Chains A and B, each alone.
Chain A
Amino acid sequence: MTVETILPEPIIQFLYVAASVLFIFGLKMLSKATTARKGNFVSSVGMLFAIVATLMYLGIDYKWILVGAITGSVIGATAARLVKMTSMPEMVGLFNGFGGMASLLVGWAEFHRITRGDAPEALFTLIAIALTILIGGITFTGSMIAYAKLAEKMETKPILFKGQQILNLLVLLTGVVASSIFIRGGTIPTYPIFIGAIIAALILGILVTIPIGGADMPVVIALLNSYSGLAACAAGFVIMNNVLIVAGALVGASGLILTSIMCRAMNRSLANVMFAGVGATASEGPSFQGEAKTVGVQDAYLMLEAATSVVFVPGYGMAVAQAQHAVRELGDLLEANGCEVKYCVHPVAGRMPGHMNVLLAEADVPYEQLVEPQDVNPLMANVDVAVVIGANDVVNPAARTEGSALYGMPIIDVDKARVCIVLKRSLKAGFAGVDNPLFFSPNTRMLLGDAKASINAVVGEFKE
């Protein structure tokens, strides 16, 4: 677009290039533990460059931009400061949605300019606008549903009904047809049709997210993250701006990688996660019966006290019980007792990628003690006690049984440890709705009750 600028146009373009380079370096550094924090800073400097460069265009209404920027910054900063680490999935979910909506509004604004005759009615721009509002709309409502499920403001189980796929397809078609009508333009008034396309996208976002269960949320969050980047990218095509395209594409790619890591960690395809509605019914595959042996705090303490090697396996239950600090305290006491302590985190434990790692970091567990399943599993036979804290599906040996809904999912082999203590509120099945034969295994002891209270009680025994 040709607008008058305060600085010469090439300088603005140079700042955009610099911003893109900083985003690239920032992301690269963000993917290594030692440089991650600096990388985040580098990327934020890139953002500053991009914003400053954009403000150099004349004819911008600075007053309203200031109003918007201050409002957004205050809300963002407050949320970032106050959010509990256990609630990170909800927050990331919300932010994904806001990003999608911001891009949608950019597309809408440009469409408005075109209908007013302020901008040329270019075919390419209209196509880009259609993509922006469709992706942005799906991202927005999809993220809101994901947020509601994560914050348990709505049913976390998959919502399935007859003809769901057909309905989804029809809504998608409506969005695409409406888009192609307003892209073609002509004599008919296109504004209502444009709004119709937005509404279709918003409805579609809801429809595609409700059939996904709580345990599959890590995949959804990663996918929506990718979408929010692609929406920004599409908005970049609308306003023909390179920095939006580069930054959006980087986010889109990183979200895609996380999505595929999450799918691989469950040995399921993306299509299976999106459409199968795993966990909708209580009994899938073979069921397991038996008697679970419970254990008291005193006995759990004695087992841990005698152990020379202990592996903690945290799951979503640890987040719910806010037990991470208690777990770390117990870990420290065990170490002081001459025991080797490790924390084994499954990639899909919790409700978003890396959720457990963040909680353990919050509790000051050094990340050298965090190990991945493939490193611990071969050594599991030498582990004296595996302590499972509110994890279920990721330690479910049913995943080795053909016919189980979890079949093929790589798990942490806690059942192969000498003793396995499972902290759990009840003997209910996990989010995937699959019975867990681990609970009935001869070397498993169930320590029932609130995880935090149980661990604090064991810690109390140690201190006596």
Chain B
Amino acid sequence: MAKPLDNRAWFLVLPVVALVAFSALIPVMTVVNYSVQDSFGNNEFFWNGTGWFKELLDPSTDLGGRFFDALWRTLLFSALCLLIEVPLGIGVALTLPRKGWGVAASLVLLALPLLIPWNVVGTIWQVFARRDIGLLGAAVNGLGIEYNYAQTPLAAWVTVVAMDVWHWTSLVVLLCYAGLRAIPDAYYQAAKVDGASSWAVFRAIQLPKMQRVLTIAILLRFMDSFMIYTEPFVVTGGGPGNATTFLSIDLVKIALGQFDLGKAAAMSIVYNLIVLTVCWVFFATTTRSQSEAVQ
């Protein structure tokens, strides 16, 4: 049954529109405004047209080089997170019990990292991975492997990725578990009668049923890893050098550290457009797969 058309529904969404417009439109206008101007302090602004954007998108300039370096780092980070967290999340979701007291206990423990403030996640990994006071750091160094996330870029990357896996794999697990629970027992019984192997059950029944939740999981994880700021900032501060300076960290440095408003604003807009493009693809694919599911 199709939903009735009624434009009075606008009255119901009006409060949301007003609040989000206050929180989103005014700041966005501010950013757009700054992005086309230059300032030498004293609140004096000069028209700069598309100058910042040209500089930003040209890798041969200082700003452009810095931007693209941070962009590739952020993309690499997102890719690593997805490649580890999605298969691991599916694997763990398949091991969760389907009934009994273990269900609630496992879910509560799994959800715990998701509810920890992001800078505390950073703190946890800081005290866990430091070589002098941390269990992990001391253990790895004790095995004879040189590991110091404050000095070698590789160790910093391993720490930051491990932290993200620790922090967010549970989200993938919980989403997949929700998808798995929606599979009726009859499917498994039919598979048993047919003598299907567990791999066949996974490919033919479980994976297709998880497709929609996996779309949500992959895109949420992409967005959030692409926007990551707090956790690596607390652990590595973007270092050593610039090894873990992701886009957000660089942006905050330019905007609030150097108060380079024009550059920061132009960077914000390009950054936001990248996320928005992915968001649109996400919205288009999920709504399409939903309408297919209805048919």
A and B associate: no
